[in-house]
């Protein structure tokens, strides 16, 4: 296990005013103590904070005013000695302090290395470690809070509870089989087992359902902006992005490449994709755009479908209505500053209950309504992301699916009235898949747990 001391700038979540240089390892306290002008940190109690200055040996002067927190292992995040040097002078100060520390032979930490140490030292389990990694990568506040919740161990807790249920079931069957003479242990029936598996199955389904939302929060709601050329797709994208990256032009069909932008609309992260418009065409360049548009539509979580208020509905528009069938979409009737040519009743009929928002992008009208429609579509009301246990990690989702499948195998066997000792093989597999999420797979731990469940040694 590494014993060298690492350091990095670690700015607290959601704050920019204070920056921290964090050190972890054997040399964390002695190195800081050597540079610190103030109390002797080597003598400092654990989990205490000290005001003083960091001395810069190269410049031979006291460099920065700091507050230093001393935390001795193992009651720290990494379980090693940890020092946090809080700098108040912004990025310049914090960088200077880091440089001074590195001069003393401390190594710069790799991304996620503090977390890796916490995991290696058994401080956190695998799902928590991954949650921390997600925090490092999070792009929005909501995604951040999901990751933080997971880090709190909520997922671990829930998985632990489900595994416990499964374990009790397996143990029960095992006892029935191996110790038939224990008649004080009730016989596990097919009905009882069906009830148990159904319960856990429901929970797994729910987890997988919210997993989709978790993925969206992390990666952004894949949002396709579609519509015929010149209706205002690029303008819409620009409005949402509020900088002019996509090309706005008078010439139809000019936006040929798909451009992606990442924006945060009322807490909903959108990964906006501006397409060339879906239409059948002979033009080769345009065709690439069209094919890609169809692809984009396939992967879209949300479609913003733009129509022109100033033109009658065309066949192409109707084709687009067909293309978005079954998807979440919002119809945007743009250019309301120009004379109405569009048959709104017909649009209403085609939209079939999906929201229709009228905008004049040029006059910046209707944008609020559009943004709230986007948020509504995503949250389907007012769901607070913080209230749910999300699963936002691909490996976890994979394992949850495998666990669910194994459990369904067990349920199928139960329905066919197979012997319970056969059924429990699949229940045990479910237990193992869930165990992999929290990094606990050792199959002999099943045996240990079986014995701690039922005190058979009496
Ligand atoms: P796209 O081809 O669908 O991406 O359309 P663009 O965003 O490139 O817009 C085409 C033209 O319509 C540009 O000249 C825009 O300035 C103009 N436009 C966009 N929105 C509006 C609007 O609300 N009203 C009017 N009058 N013109 C608009
Ligand atoms: Zn465009």
Residues 208-226: tens digit of each pLDDT:
877 666 666 656 678 888 8
**Polymer length of the chain:** 458
Give the 3-state secondary structure of 14-46: CCCCCEEEEEECCCHHHHHHHHEECCCHHHCCC
| 169 belongs to an annotated ligand binding site | no
Residue 308 and residue 325: Cα distance in Å, rounded?
A: 20
Nearest to 150 by CA among 431, 403, 393: 393
Sequence ranges of the domains in the chain: 6-123, 154-214+391-453, 218-385
Please write the tens of the pLDDT for every residue from 394-443. Answer: 667 778 889 999 999 999 999 999 999 899 899 999 998 998 887 765 45
Least confident span in 21-30, 121-130, 285-294, 435-444: 285-294
Q: Mean pLDDT over all residues of the chain?
A: 77
The CA-atom distances, in angstroms, between 361 and each of 218, 233, 313 are 29, 10, 19
Place of tokens 């997600």: 134
Least confident span in 157-161, 231-235, 322-326, 376-380: 376-380
Equal CATH topology for 154-214+391-453 and 218-385: no
Pairing of strands 329-334, 221-226: unpaired
Joined together, the tokens standing for residue 251 give 């010439």
Q: Which fold has domain 6-123?
A: Gyrase A; domain 2 (3.30.1360)
239 lines ligand 1 (CB under 6 A): no
In sequence order, what DSSP letters do the residues of 126-190 get, joined into one string? HHHHHHHHHHHH--SHHHHHHHHHHHTTHHHHHHHHHHHHHHHHHHHHHHHHH-TT-TTSPPPPH
For residue 277, give the ligand 1 atom closest to its CA. 3
Q: What is the predicted pLDDT for the residue at 423?
A: 93
Give residue 250 CA to ligand 2 midpoint distance, Å: 9
Please tell me the number of the ligand nearest to residue 334's CA.
1
Q: Which fold has domain 218-385?
A: Rossmann fold (3.40.50)
86 lines ligand 1 (CB under 6 A): no
Bridge partners of 66, per DSSP, are 52, 87
For residue 238, give the ligand 1 atom closest to its CA. 7
Do residues 352 and 328 lie in contact, with contact meaning Cβ atoms separated by under 8 Å?
Answer: no
| 233 belongs to an annotated ligand binding site | yes
Q: Strand 6-9's sheet: what is its strand order?
A: 36-37, 48-56, 61-71, 82-87, 19-24, 6-9, 107-108
Q: What is the predicted pLDDT for the residue at 387?
A: 41
pTM (global) more than 0.90: no
Q: Domain 154-214+391-453, what architecture?
A: Up-down Bundle (1.20)
Please tell me the number of the ligand nearest to residue 360's CA.
1
Residue 322 and residue 330: Cα distance in Å, rounded?
A: 14
């Amino acid at each position: 296990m590494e014993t060298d001391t690492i350091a990095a700038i670690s700015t607290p979540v959601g704050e920019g005013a204070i920056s921290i240089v964090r050190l972890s390892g054997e040399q964390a306290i002695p190195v800081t103590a050597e540079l610190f002008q103030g109390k002797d940190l080597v003598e400092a109690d654990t989990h205490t904070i000290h005001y003083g200055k960091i001395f810069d040996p190269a410049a031979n002067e006291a460099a920065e005013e700091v507050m230093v927190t001393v935390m001795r292992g193992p009651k720290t995040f990494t379980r090693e000695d940890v020092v946090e040097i809080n700098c108040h002078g912004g990025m310049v100060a914090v960088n200077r302090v880091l440089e001074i520390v590195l001069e003393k032979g401390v190594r710069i930490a790799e991304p996620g290395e503090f977390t890796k140490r916490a995991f290696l030292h058994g401080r956190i389990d695998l799902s928590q470690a991954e949650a921390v990694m997600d925090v490092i990568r999070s792009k929005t506040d909501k995604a951040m809070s999901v990751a933080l919740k997971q880090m709190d161990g909520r997922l671990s807790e829930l998985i632990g509870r489900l595994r416990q249920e499964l374990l009790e079931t397996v143990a029960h069957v095992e006892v029935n089989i191996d110790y038939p003479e224990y008649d004080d242990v009730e016989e596990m029936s097919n009905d009882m087992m069906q009830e148990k598996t159904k319960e856990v199955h429901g929970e797994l389904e729910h987890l997988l359902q919210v997993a989709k939302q978790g993925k969206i929060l992390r990666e952004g709601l894949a949002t396709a902006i579609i519509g015929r050329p010149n209706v205002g797709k690029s303008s819409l994208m620009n409005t949402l992005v509020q900088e002019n990256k996509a090309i706005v032009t008078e010439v139809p069909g000019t936006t040929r490449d798909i451009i992606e932008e990442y924006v945060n609309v009322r807490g909903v992260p959108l990964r906006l994709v501006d397409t060339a418009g879906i239409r059948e065409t002979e033009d080769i360049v345009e065709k690439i755009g069209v094919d890609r548009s169809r692809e984009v539509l396939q992967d879209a979580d949300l479609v913003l479908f733009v129509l022109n208020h100033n033109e009658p509905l065309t066949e192409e528009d109707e084709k687009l209505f067909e293309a978005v069938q079954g998807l979440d979409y919002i119809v945007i009737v743009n250019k309301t500053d120009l004379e109405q040519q569009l048959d709104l009743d017909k649009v209403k009929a085609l939209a079939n209950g999906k929201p229709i928002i009228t905008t004049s992008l040029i006059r910046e009208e209707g944008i609020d309504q559009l943004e709230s429609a986007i948020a509504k579509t995503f949250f389907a009301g007012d769901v607070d992301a913080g209230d749910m246990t999300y699963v936002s990690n691909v490996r976890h989702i994979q394992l949850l699916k495998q666990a669910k499948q194994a459990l369904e195998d067990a349920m199928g066997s139960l329905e066919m009235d197979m012997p319970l000792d056969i059924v429990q093989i699949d229940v045990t597999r479910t237990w193992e898949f869930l165990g992999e999420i929290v990094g606990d797979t050792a199959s002999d731990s099943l045996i240990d747990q079986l014995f701690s469940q039922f005190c058979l040694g009496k």
